[in-house]
Amino acid sequence: MIPIGDENPTERWPYVNWSLIGLNVLAFLLTAGSLEAVIKDYAFVPARPQPVDVITSMFLHGGFGHLLGNMLFLWIFGDNVEDKLGRVWYPVFYIGCGVAAAVAHFAMHHGSSVPVVGASGAVAGVLGMYAVLFPNHQIKIFYFFAWFWWGTFFISAKWALGIWFAGQALMTALLERAGVGGVAYLAHIGGFVVGAGLGFLLKERLLAGAPPPRARPRVTPLWGRGRPPLPDALDERGAPVYSREAPARVVEAPPPPRPAGWRRGGAGAWAVLASSDEAADPAAAGRVLAEATGRPPDDVARDLGEARGFLGRGLAEADARERVRALAKAGIAATARDEATLRELPSLAEASRVLLLAHGVQAETNLGFLECSYGEIVLLAAGLARRAGAEEFGDEGSYALVLTAFLLDGPRLLFVEDETVGKLVREGWGVAQGLNLRALAVALVNRAPVADRNRGVEILLGSQRHLDWTGLTFDGFSSYEGYTAWLWQVRGR
């Protein structure tokens, strides 16, 4: 199995990473005819260590396969590490990891006269920092068994690079300590550990205030930039079939209004937030707050229902903390937060069509064409929202199942049962028609390794014994939006 790409766009062109790859390739081409003599003079030899040899050995390789493997890993993972460290510190980090790898190898083989060449130690340092900074980003893996069974799949970086590191440790224990083999596995471990260690030390600083990626647009206008809409069906050969004409032009919809639960108070305003779905139930919290405030219980419950999860807004700090204490006495967990610290609620993209691919989701929305990888889904929420004009929840067809997917550095993707035209989903080699929200939730959970989810999604997955939607039924879409605004504060990443 070989990594061939990642779902992690950069903010700028990785000129330094390209330059390092170019220097390695150039050195290989220039030394191809006299490799043995060059290795004799410029490789790192533990028995006679020379500082300059530590540097020169990083740009020498023993063969084309050796070079190709190292440069492939550097191409995939180096651009994102450069993006975070910057063009000045990235080459310093790269060389430093290479030096650390040489030191690790020297510590065990200080008497060896076998020359060591290759960028593996420095590249291992890059892998270590990538694993720490981007543990949940998806890595595309190519696999093959003989000539008849091959394909690709995605796996999170923490698993892909964790398995790679475990393999290096195993080879060190089995082969290198016994003096068998021609690979400096301990150098790989040394470089990886130093890179990962620096990643942990610098992670907060490197990732603080990171803007959303701009290398790949997340939302583009339908039919803009030559992109067609999603097909209405696939024929027997898998080719797209369209039953409608392209619109003459597409006008992007304005951002939807913020739900009631998001409105912030003035300066110094505090909010009380429930800590769980159970604590967010307006009926239970309403009784406690009615006693604490002296207001009629029905009025308090109605206000809480409009913004499920927010148990008070626009309060003075002392009043907010007093509410938290009153709720705690009744066994309802809540926290007081300065409203200025509440997270910005992402814009809403209402899906009209959706296509699930091996690597991610493509959808037509009111904002335009949206695409994201499964690793970018960080939170899934489901609930029942009363349809417009319905009087009672008990009426047949009076409520709709709704599902929201929060994306990393992106909008909220909304699906509504019977309104989302999610009729097409590719599963392996086949095509399944009539995708419903339950099937969509199962597919997204199975493919989104880092996504948190609420109890409504657990019900859709069938992991709840009873289909009890208590606390997850809403008087309308606005009330559900208020709930997702709260959920984003307490569960979003």
3-state SS record for 403-420: EEEEECCCCEEEEECCCC
What is the average pLDDT across 207-226?
A: 43
Tell me, yes or no, whether 299 and 402 share the same domain. Answer: no
3-state per-residue secondary structure call for 30-57:
HHCCCHHHHHHHHCECCCCCCHHHHHHH
Are 334 and 279 spatial neighbours (Cβ–Cβ below 8 Å)?
A: yes
DSSP 328-349: HHTT--EEEEEGGGSPPPPPEE
**Structural domain contains residue 324:** yes
Tell me, yes or no, whether 194 and 334 share the same domain. Answer: no
Tell me, yes or no, whether 127 and 194 share the same domain. Answer: yes
Tell me, yes or no, whether 100 and 174 share the same domain. Answer: yes
Please report the pLDDT score of residue 360 as a whole number.
77
> Does residue 352 have a pLDDT over 60?
yes
Tell me, yes or no, whether 293 and 412 share the same domain. Answer: no
Please report the pLDDT score of residue 123 as a whole number.
93
Number of neighbouring beta carbons within 10 Å of residue 143: 11
- Assign 477 a pLDDT band (cuts: 50, 70, 90): confident
Tell me, yes or no, whether 309 and 376 share the same domain. Answer: no
Ranking 131-135, 248-252, 260-264, 355-359 by mean pLDDT, the lowest is 248-252
Q: Which domain holds residue 83?
A: 2-207
Q: How many domains would you assign to the chain? A: 3
Alpha carbons 329 and 186: distance in angstroms, whole number:
57
Whose tokens are 């009873």? That residue is 466
pLDDT digits (tens, 9 = 90+) for 418-466: 543 333 333 322 223 345 777 788 888 877 766 788 888 888 877 554 5
Please report the pLDDT score of residue 265 as a whole number.
53
The predicted model scores a pTM of: 0.48
Tell me, yes or no, whether 378 and 349 share the same domain. Answer: yes
Please report the pLDDT score of residue 492 as a whole number.
65
Number of neighbouring beta carbons within 10 Å of residue 311: 31
Final residue in a domain of this structure, among 341, 365, 380: 341
* Partner residues linked to 463 by β-bridges: none
What CATH number did the domain enclosing 144 receive?
1.20.1540.10
Whose tokens are 């970086």? That residue is 157
Final residue in a domain of this structure, among 341, 357, 383: 341
Please report the pLDDT score of residue 324 as a whole number.
86
What is the average pLDDT across 129-136?
A: 88
**Structural domain contains residue 214:** no
Whose tokens are 């859709």? That residue is 460
376 phi, psi to nearest 5 deg: -85, -5
pLDDT, mean over the chain? 75
Alpha carbons 160 and 190: distance in angstroms, whole number:
18
β-pair type (452-453, 377-386): parallel
Are 148 and 125 spatial neighbours (Cβ–Cβ below 8 Å)?
A: no
**Structural domain contains residue 253:** no
Whose tokens are 């040489």? That residue is 102
Q: Which of 122, 485, 475, 88 is nearest to 305 (CA)?
A: 475
Alpha carbons 422 and 436: distance in angstroms, whole number:
7
Tell me, yes or no, whether 385 and 442 share the same domain. Answer: yes
What is the average pLDDT across 261-269?
A: 59
- Assign 246 a pLDDT band (cuts: 50, 70, 90): very low
Q: Return the H-helix or E-strand segment holding 297.
A: helix 297-306
Neighbouring residues of 53: CB distance < 8 A, sequence distance ≥ 6: 42, 43, 44, 45
Please report the pLDDT score of residue 423 as a whole number.
31
Residue 299 in tokens = 């009025």
Region class of 405: left (phi > 0), else alpha (psi between -120 and 50), else beta: beta
Distance between start and end Cα atoms, the chain: 31
DSSP helix/strand/coil, 381: strand
Tell me, yes or no, whether 178 and 229 share the same domain. Answer: no
Q: Count CA atoms closer than 13 A to 41's CA, side-chain side.
A: 5
Please report the pLDDT score of residue 236 as a whole number.
52
β-pair type (452-453, 233-234): unpaired
What is the average pLDDT across 271-300?
A: 75
Q: Which of 30, 189, 170 is nearest to 108 (CA)?
A: 189
Taking each helix axis as running N to C, give the angle between helix 64-85 and helix 89-109, from 0 to 180 degrees, rounded to the nearest 10.
Answer: 130
- Assign 151 a pLDDT band (cuts: 50, 70, 90): confident
**Structural domain contains residue 38:** yes
- Assign 180 a pLDDT band (cuts: 50, 70, 90): low
Alpha carbons 422 and 402: distance in angstroms, whole number:
13
> Does residue 165 have a pLDDT over 70?
yes
What CATH number did the domain enclosing 317 receive?
3.30.1390.10
What is the average pLDDT across 82-87?
A: 89
Ranking 105-114, 138-147, 476-485 by mean pLDDT, the lowest is 138-147
Residue 220 in tokens = 């583009």
**Structural domain contains residue 360:** yes
Query: What's the burial of 38, exposed, middle or buried (CB within 10 Å: 0-12/13-18/19+)?
Result: middle
**Structural domain contains residue 251:** no
276 phi, psi to nearest 5 deg: -155, 170
Tell me, yes or no, whether 33 and 136 share the same domain. Answer: yes
Tell me, yes or no, whether 405 and 435 share the same domain. Answer: yes
What is the average pLDDT across 468-476?
A: 78
DSSP helix/strand/coil, 353: strand
Tell me, yes or no, whether 373 and 476 share the same domain. Answer: yes
Final residue in a domain of this structure, among 341, 371, 396: 341
Q: Is the dihedral of CA 453, 454, 458, 459 positive or negative?
A: negative
**Structural domain contains residue 22:** yes
Are 349 and 422 spatial neighbours (Cβ–Cβ below 8 Å)?
A: no
